[in-house]
């Protein structure tokens, strides 16, 4: 049985509607305790997302996960720069802007508790929001897309803003508010930004975290657990020489906000059913249609487009079984083309199955 939700009420399921002002989160993260090993020392990392860099909403749907990821990567020794959309751009996929002017404006007042996370790194964890404006990004300025931000960064933005020569070693996208699984992967700006990176020969991972039981709020606990796991996952891949631009990795994290633990990572495929879908309801006999979000049942009982036929589907292992799910994503839309990077694919699958960190 499907459920339809009004777009305004359910927007958080797909990471919300754009914010127009900066506000600090209501609860401050706890401070890091003592020095830690830095397995990613020297690694240059670009972070983007599709939720924006605002972190202003009470339900944490507009970029709080980005700051948790930035914190975890800097704690592991990476040199991090953020270039993210100015407004929430959830559902933009690989969309790009084909003309006009973009501005990468540095955010100087960061959310409370995150100001000093990257203080000792060369780039200081600089955070830039990218808008479609000439000169200054006003609060209500239209936003660049997720793919725009990555393309800008890799095609001169990082050099101009922080002096980086050449491409970063890695692009991370997220942490998204809500999972990107099954059919929604095609719409995901988080995944689209990662695809933009590998399209330009830079390794990339896309991170997305589940919301709480309400599907409308995204607890800090989920972002933090995912970020800390993600830093260890990246460290393991880097140590083994498995950061590859042949394909991106999509990493989804289950809800742990009620105290439950995430289960071990599982190597999956993108599901062939839907979890969230767009529905259109006509307004009487008019030419207008309301856009609503449909939610498929999470217990495997879906029919039609909600039906899932793959036993190794990301949605099944994440939502039904509570595992971290990891799936390879490629830019290549050519059906039946031989897979490039067979060796890397086998090595990373083996790593995920047998050696990857446990939550």
310-320 pLDDT, tens digit each? 999 999 999 99
The pLDDT confidence band at residue 32, using thresholds 50, 70 and 90, is very low
Backbone phi, then psi, for 257, in 5-degree steps? -70, -20
Q: How many residues does the chain have?
A: 359
The confidence score (pLDDT) of residue 297 equals: 80
Q: What is the pLDDT of residues 253-286, one digit of tens each?
A: 999 999 999 999 999 999 999 988 889 999 999 9
Helix H segments across the chain? 7-10, 64-75, 146-152, 158-162, 189-199, 220-239, 314-315, 342-354
The confidence score (pLDDT) of residue 20 equals: 28
β-bridge mates for residue 277, sequence order: 294
Q: Rounded mean pLDDT of 303-309?
A: 89
- Indicate if the pLDDT at residue 229 is higher than 90: yes
SS3 content of the chain, % helix, strand, coil (to 5): 25, 20, 55
Backbone phi, then psi, for 267, in 5-degree steps? -80, 120
The confidence score (pLDDT) of residue 329 equals: 96
């Amino acid at each position: 049985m499907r459920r339809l939700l009004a777009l305004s009420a359910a927007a958080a399921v797909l990471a919300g509607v754009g914010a127009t002002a900066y506000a600090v989160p209501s609860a401050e993260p706890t401070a890091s305790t003592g020095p830690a090993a830095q397995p990613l020392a020297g690694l240059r990392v670009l972070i983007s997302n599709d939720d924006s860099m605002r972190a202003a909403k009470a339900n944490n749907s507009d970029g709080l996960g980005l700051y948790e990821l930035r914190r975890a990567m800097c704690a592991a020794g990476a040199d991090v720069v953020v270039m993210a959309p100015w407004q929430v751009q959830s559902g933009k996929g690989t969309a790009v802007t084909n003309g006009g002017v973009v501005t990468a404006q540095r955010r100087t007042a960061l959310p409370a508790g995150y100001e000093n996370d990257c203080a000792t790194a060369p780039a200081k964890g600089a955070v830039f929001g990218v808008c479609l404006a000439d000169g200054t990004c006003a609060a209500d300025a239209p936003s660049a897309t997720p793919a725009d931000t990555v393309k800008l960064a890799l095609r001169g933005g990082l050099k101009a803003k922080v002096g980086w020569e050449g491409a970063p070693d890695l692009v991370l996208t997220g942490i998204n508010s809500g999972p990107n699984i099954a059919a929604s992967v095609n719409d995901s700006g988080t995944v689209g930004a990662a695809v933009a990176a590998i399209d330009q020969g830079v390794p990339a991972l896309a991170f997305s975290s589940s919301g709480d039981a309400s599907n409308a709020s995204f607890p800090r606990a989920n972002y933090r657990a995912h970020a800390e796991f993600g830093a260890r996952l990246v460290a393991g891949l880097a140590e083994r020489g498995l950061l590859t631009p042949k394909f991106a990795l999509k990493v989804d994290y289950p809800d742990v906000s009620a105290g439950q633990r995430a289960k071990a990572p599982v190597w999956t495929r993108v599901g062939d059913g839907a979890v969230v879908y767009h529905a259109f309801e006509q307004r009487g006999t008019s030419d207008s249609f309301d856009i609503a979000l449909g939610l498929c049942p999470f217990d495997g009982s879906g029919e039609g487009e909600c039906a899932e036929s793959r036993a190794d589907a990301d949605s099944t292992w994440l939502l039904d079984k509570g595992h971290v799910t990891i799936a390879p994503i490629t830019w290549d839309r050519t059906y039946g083309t031989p897979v490039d990077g067979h060796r890397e694919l086998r090595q990373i699958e083996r790593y995920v199955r047998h050696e990857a960190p446990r939550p």
